[in-house]
Amino acid sequence: MGTLKAIAHFDLAAFRWISARRFFIKMIFASRVLSHLGNGPYYLAIGLALFWFESAYGNKFLTTGLIAFAIELPLYLLIKNSIKRDRPFVVDTDLTPWLTPSDQFSFPSGHTAAAFVMAMLVHTYYPAFDLFAYLLASMIGAARIILGVHFPTDTLAGAALGTMSALIALSIVH
């Protein structure tokens, strides 16, 4: 129990530090755009576009992505609804989120998990774009913290969940 309290204390302190920086406040608009890019329909659109227009790996990218998300989403929901970690603005009522989250609980970050599924798939099938994909996935995770809806460890757990789900899907497809 002491370790969990230490992690919670670290998360709250890190979140407060990030929230207090004027630089990050100026990034709210960009963070909202990045956060929106982490929504699921964009990933499906990318997968379908590659399937239809890119003959080398489009089919495998879409198939692997569908399997990865079929693994990631139930795990995400199971973890989120088992742990039931309150969001930062619930823990500290002096904080105000910059958007309304889609659900009640914080851990793990689903936006970050989905972004890292995609980053891993891009890394595997289109390695020339992997730096961009990982940078974008990381920025989506950071945006969720800046917007006040996740603690730092929520996004780290999301990144791990997304990466793990993609690796399992890749092992199934290959």
What pLDDT digit, counting tens, does each position of 131-158 carry?
A: 999 999 998 998 888 888 899 999 999 9
8 A C-beta contact, residue 19 and residue 97: no
Record the pTM. Answer: 0.83
Q: Which two tokens stand for residue 76?
A: 């995400």
Neighbours of 153 (CB within 10 A): 19
pLDDT at position 22 is 58
Q: Which of 57, 52, 41, 36 is nearest to 136 (CA)?
A: 36
Residue 27, classed as helix, strand or coil, is coil
- Which domains does the chain carry? 2-173 (1.10.606.20)
Output the average pLDDT for the chain. 87
User: Mean pLDDT across the stretch 111-117?
Assistant: 95
